[in-house]
Structure 1
Amino acid sequence: MFRHVGKGRTLVHNLQLASLLSLVAGIVNVSGIFALQTLTTNVTGHFAYFADEIAQNHFAQAWVFLLYIIAFLFGAFSSNFFIEFTSRHDFKFGAALPISIEVFILTAIAFLGPETVKANGNLIACGLLYAMGLQNALVTSLSNSVVRTTHLTGLFTDLGIELSKVIFRREYSEQKQLISSIKLRLTIIAFFFSGCIVGGLVYFFQGMLSLLLAAGILVMGWVYAYIKFQILMMKRKLHH
């Protein structure tokens, strides 16, 4: 699910990637809300907060929201930069570096104590937004903009459009494509929601260690993809 790009991807690849990373995003989302009382998986709301603070002449706080936006943007920039760089050098796993950085960030923040989190809330929020920028750009690049996992606004918009299209009679191929797209979007929504529920329960008992769950899911997903690839390569060698 991490190696195939663009036209080489199938619905199964996208479903696997969507379910894995949406679950992670849901956990990070709820952990950020509970611990920092701010959005840590997308920047849509931060634009509104930024404008509100500017209107009230609270420029110091406005700069904080601007930093949140820049952190997410820099995460997206970094992710695609790493993918482009590795692809030019013929590395087989271009997604490895963005995933590794995300795992490192989530793990490092997970082990911070409550007092440290409270004292460095803005910095930690920037770290989580950078990690989610990495993830969102990674999944967008791999899926050719078909999958996004860190926010749901666009997903619900697309889902509403596609559900309305299904009602009207269309060619079989178009109906099949619509059903596949709806299935993918429902998967993302379901796993994001599940991540929020599971992450919230873990946070209730373990605090920011809930982020370790998100990091662990990423590692297990990568290991699964790597082992599956190695088995596939072994089968190809045996057939030759």
Structure 2
Amino acid sequence: MRRLLHLTGQHRTPSVDRMFGLLLAFNAGAVNAGGLLVVHMYTSHMSGFASQLADGLVLGSMPLLLGALGALLAFVVGAATTAVIVHWARRHRLRSAFAMPLMLEAALLLVFGLLGAITLTWPTLFAVPLTVLLLSYIMGLQNGLSSSMSNGKMRTTHMTGHITDLGLELGRLAFRNPRETPAALRVQANRSALRLYASLLLMFIAGGLVGAAGFKYVGFVWVVPLASLLLALSLPPFRRDLRRSVYLQTLLGSMARRFGRSPHAPVPPP
């Protein structure tokens, strides 16, 4: 259990990174499968929306075009948000650079779990309900997080690349080298990578099962426990930063005073 408390901290080992990636893959699978039952489209990978954008242009269908454009933009903005948070945290020497995007994702999942039914009725400029844009933004945020955390080696909201890599490693594993092949030229599978790709795929599928069943039998509120888990994992490094960083204390104190002030309250003199 102590290892879980370090998933989003500054000092992590490869095994901790893998554990974090598996958890995020499970979360993405759950959101993706559950989202299909709610909005009738997958929101964790953008290949379908890119194709939908092309279809909308060819068919002259403005709803298709706007819906795809909205989801793509939301996903991109989500990934960009992660980049801004991570680099801002590193600039100020904070150890919770990866915890902060996860905290934001957890908070948005809580909003989705508690208000998702309401946002389904909120129209947007992109011909899709706000729920679609929210889920796409959350998945962009998460994919940016897993990519930043692994230096681009691990993405958790879609499995196409990992399934391709899994197939390549299986091909190398099945390949039979002639006996006279020098050791430097022998084709060998990376068994560690093979286990990682297979594990990510299995966790994504397991998350999909949980997400589909949760939406079917429980409803939107099923994401609240998962969001609470993500929040619990991201809070320890943030609390440590809050204790040690004067800059963060000053920033949060300033924000609290700004948002806590009543609009009719007198402004103190300089």
TM-score interval w.r.t. the shorter chain? 0.7 to 0.9
Among 14, 17, 33, the residue aligned to 2:17: 14
Q: CA deviation at 1:3?
A: 3.2
Residue 34, structure 1, aligned to residue 40, structure 2: no
Q: CA deviation at 1:201?
A: 1.4
2:28 maps to amino acid: A
Q: Which residue of 2 aligns with 1:66?
A: 69
Q: Map Cα deviations across residues 58-77 of structure 1 (whole Å, 9 max, x no partner).
A: 12431121010010011111
Contact 2:27–2:207 (CA<8 Å) still a contact in 1?
A: yes
Greater helix content: 1
- CA–CA distance in structure 2, aligned partners of residues 182 and 221 of structure 1: 27
Contact 2:103–2:234 (CA<8 Å) still a contact in 1?
A: no
> Higher RCO, 1 or 2 (CA under 8 Å, sep at least 6)?
1
Residues 178 and 129 from structure 1, CA distance in 2 versus in 1: closer, same or farther, beyond 3 angstroms? same
Q: Which residue of 1 aligns with 2:130?
A: 123
Contact 1:86–1:94 (CA<8 Å) still a contact in 2?
A: yes
Contact 1:24–1:218 (CA<8 Å) still a contact in 2?
A: no
Q: Which residue of 2 aligns with 1:157?
A: 164
Q: Which residue of 2 aligns with 1:133?
A: 140
Structure 1: runs of 5 or more not aligned: 230-240
Q: Map Cα deviations across residues 13-57 of structure 1 (whole Å, 9 max, x no partner).
A: 232112110111011011110001012111110011111122111
Residue 167, structure 1, aligned to residue 167, structure 2: no
Residue 211, structure 1, aligned to residue 218, structure 2: no
Alignment of 1:48-59 (within 5 A): 48-59=51-62
- CA–CA distance in structure 2, aligned partners of residues 132 and 217 of structure 1: 17
Q: Map Cα deviations across residues 197-218 of structure 1 (whole Å, 9 max, x no partner).
A: 1111111121111222331331
- CA–CA distance in structure 2, aligned partners of residues 99 and 180 of structure 1: 26
Q: Which residue of 2 aligns with 1:75?
A: 78
Among 181, 185, 195, the residue aligned to 1:183: 195
- Indicate the percent of aligned positions where both proteins have the same amino acid: 28
**Matched position secondary structure for 1:199:** helix
Contact 1:155–1:185 (CA<8 Å) still a contact in 2?
A: yes
Q: Map Cα deviations across residues 166-190 of structure 1 (whole Å, 9 max, x no partner).
A: 234566xx95x71111111111111
- CA–CA distance in structure 1, aligned partners of residues 17 and 134 of structure 2: 26
| TM-score normalised by the chain length of structure 1 | 0.83
Among 8, 15, 29, the residue aligned to 1:2: 8
Residue 85, structure 1, aligned to residue 124, structure 2: no
Residue 196, structure 1, aligned to residue 208, structure 2: yes
**Matched position secondary structure for 2:155:** coil
2:165 maps to amino acid: D
- CA–CA distance in structure 1, aligned partners of residues 118 and 89 of structure 2: 39
Contact 1:18–1:184 (CA<8 Å) still a contact in 2?
A: no
Q: CA deviation at 1:193?
A: 0.6
Structure 1 window deviating more from structure 2 (108-117 vs 160-169): it is: 108-117
Q: Which residue of 2 aligns with 1:145?
A: 152
- CA–CA distance in structure 2, aligned partners of residues 9 and 119 of structure 1: 41
Contact 1:15–1:187 (CA<8 Å) still a contact in 2?
A: no
**Matched position secondary structure for 2:60:** coil
| TM-score normalised by the chain length of structure 2 | 0.75
Where in structure 1 do 4 or more consecutive aligned residues deviate above 6 Å? Answer: none
Q: CA deviation at 1:9?
A: 5.6
Among 19, 26, 29, the residue aligned to 1:23: 26
